[in-house]
Structure 1
């Protein structure tokens, strides 16, 4: 078992950057992926968000570029593809922080940036380019980006790229980078035909890494829930939690309409907040994230579409004001806290109609999520109980229904 980064055969300049960033010991995905990547293997890794996967591919890439330095100026040697521009910017920021003691150049190519800015970048020497597939494809077609020098191709959040319809573009990009030596594919899950189909064409005999966070990594998030009698009670509980218990919270809502309503209520209560939602202009979205990052506001309201893949430091509480539609989305949400080795809290505020989803989530995360109470705000309604026999009852009724016609024959 690898206990510290020094055991990973990394350059001292990378080790000192890791130390400055406060990383103590490699996470499971880092300990498994870095040695395999440095051995020249293709990588197929499943790692949930918040488990340190960015460093798991950035560190070996930086090490590789130092082990095999370039002889003359030229185009990028490592290409990292991400589904969204926020994620591209985040990955590039982390790569720059890890590469701060090297002379390596790291750039992003994403939508929403002036063509001239990119033209200036592409005219200089690049070592690592982090890009979104659509915008990069435009430059390749215009013969502005040269893929022949790419030695490593990394796909981050491959499952999400497929969800967003980037499959054919990624296949095309893979073809453009056909002279590469290695391919690394990271995905939150490897289930589903999509990712399998993707991987068969892209990877050659990959090292298969399934880095489910260990129980100790997951235990860093304390989970509980509060029951609410109605919408007013729910709002009162939220105000109490964000003003008296939580330092920095992300509050999740199901829809943009629900987000707008809550925003109005918090403004009335003079609780400052920022918000992000789907189909929001990029500059406003960046501004909201920046205000939360720098501590101007300590509450960020978000819909699921908007929050995937965002890495925000020091989030003390994730609050499910609306329960998600599925248990895996719950896991994705709570992964916004307890990052980089810190502890965190996940609180759900549930009305009676949410109780069934709460029970389902507890089964999915294999943990007993306890109910807590705020003294003067206890619910007056009894907790709804759902019998688990329902499936059996359904089976009996369907088998009875099936048997009836056979009697008539």
Structure 2
């Protein structure tokens, strides 16, 4: 129950009576904002140069601390991961136990009740991530959230890094609700032109807030880079079990991903997770995920041709009015990758999302509504993930 109350307080910006919370508990964490047009595939060939320079921005300056806030709070940092993640299984929000213990000590001094932390909440001790991340920005060089700092490029030296696919995330350090801002695309670190020198790399470019109707297909699009003879395999899974089921398999042709997913009957009226595996002839695999879950809507039984009652559809929050043509499935139609040149690296361009990941389904700008309903389940699935109680953890 504790996890549910904590998230609700953050959303509402309230303070629970009888418990001491940090003064910035309701303060929205300022994300790293990624520029438009980031390449879906960026290649760093270390036989030519080992550094990659990239840019970011911020929505506004954020340096005014509350009196009981950790003095080092409100900073940005950059981290690279050797794997991608499904939207409902993000990385832990603590990088190190040193960070966590600084926060726990500060909480004790300032009479703040901290949330329990265990090894799975910390990157350096997580069973999944402890050997799968590197700091691009050191902990002691976290950047203040100012426009001046954001104008400075980030330089990442990949020397000594394992060859293969790496995803970059921005990290907002503002205990205890630290947050991640996923950078679009993937970085493929290689050691020469021979594709056998590195495992595959892949990324999906589909928009967030996607939904689809029964009988329609939703195309997973993106980029991949792997040895000739590699294959693409698509999977879907219910969000509550993450039991992956294959829906497509085909050879990888060039560097483009395009896999059509048609929801099965047991996926209707719920949110589903999607994944694409790229496997090369050496049986090396990289898994790529969209930035958000896919909502599979159920058509309204009263639909007689192009419009129907909102019927409480979560997309409209409606009453009994009518809404316009659904327009079919929603998703990006990104162009095929093209080859270009990045700063000290060769990059392959493709359409990017540009925004931080979200699991909240939305209508597209200008939409007049879907005209269909979700039987109550799919519409609130993403919010339910956010409010799902976390198991109680013992403080280390």
Q: TM-score range by the shorter chain?
A: under 0.3
Greater RCO structure (CA 8 Å; 6+ sep)? 2
* Structure in which a larger fraction of residues adopt strand: 2
User: Higher Cα Rg: structure 1 or 2?
Assistant: 1
TM normalised by structure 2 equals: 0.23
In the superposition, the TM-score normalised over structure 1's length comes to 0.23
